[in-house]
Amino acid sequence: MHLPQFIEHLSVEKKYSDYTLIAYKTDLLQFFEFCNEKLEINDVDNVVYNHVRSWIITLVEEKQSNRSINRKISSLKSYYKFLLKIGEIKKSPLATHKALKTSKRIQIPFSEIEIEAVLDELKAKNDFKGVRNLLIVELFYATGMRRGELVNLKIEDIDTIQKQIKVTGKRNKQRIIPLIETVLDTLNRYMVLRKNIVENEEAKPFLFITEKGIKIYETLVYRVINGYFSRASIKVKRSPHILRHSFATHLLNQGANLNAVKELLGHSSLAATEVYTFQDIAKLNSIHKEAHPRNNKK
């Protein structure tokens, strides 16, 4: 088994985040356990596609979604690609594998009214926790950054003079995003209150900390967003990703250039950004009604 070397490869060469590394390791250990217990195979380097197919069937029988299964197989595919690269195998057992079909998930963004309702509620708070949470919501909506990117923001990443923020995304790729005045105002309020918190040494460089002075963490950020938006929205999904989605959708609805939104989001390809185009169903229906020639006929 070459799992430790593979994880190190993903960390050092691919520069994957800790959360991604955990996901890869979990998927692979599940497959290794399946091979050992169900197929009595101890050396997973000698696996053939039929063994993988047996695992897929088992996952389907466990009623795991095709999307979840595809992610697990993607982890496995990357592992065998690594073994091929270092010369441990001559052919990947997944060389001809085709991903299971999945339905496209429609991400419904928050409306501008819902976002304003949350911001209005938070603006009334003057304590450290309230102002910090306001800054979290404002940064998500004003920059479209990912949850992991926000958690790892450092104080030095913010340039109040140039009114911009440096965001470190996937594979340590950095991008610069402009900051609007309202965010800067909240940031100044937060930094004043932050000085009264006794910080853990490891947390000092980071922008966001808890009331106990430790670095903020992803589950807490999720609870903040989910908690406030559950009172303002009846949408099923109320997560930081939906705020990122709202940022992109609202920009595009207002006529922003697709390539510009791509750069702001930190997407590597335009295809990833195109999913946000015309997500506003009401606007799409309106455009269709006004533009289609059949609708213009009396």
Encoded tokens for 56? 């897929």
Per-position b or e across 45-77, b if 16+ CB within 10 A of its CB: eebeeebbeebbeebeeeeeeeeebbbbbebbb
Residues catalogued as catalytic: 146, 170, 241, 244, 267, 276
Q: CA separation (Å) from 294 to 281, 282, 283, 286, 288? A: 20, 19, 18, 14, 10
Q: 240: number of CA atoms within 13 Å, CB side?
A: 23
C-alpha 58/C-alpha 204 separation (Å) is 47
276 touches 284 (CB < 8 A) = no
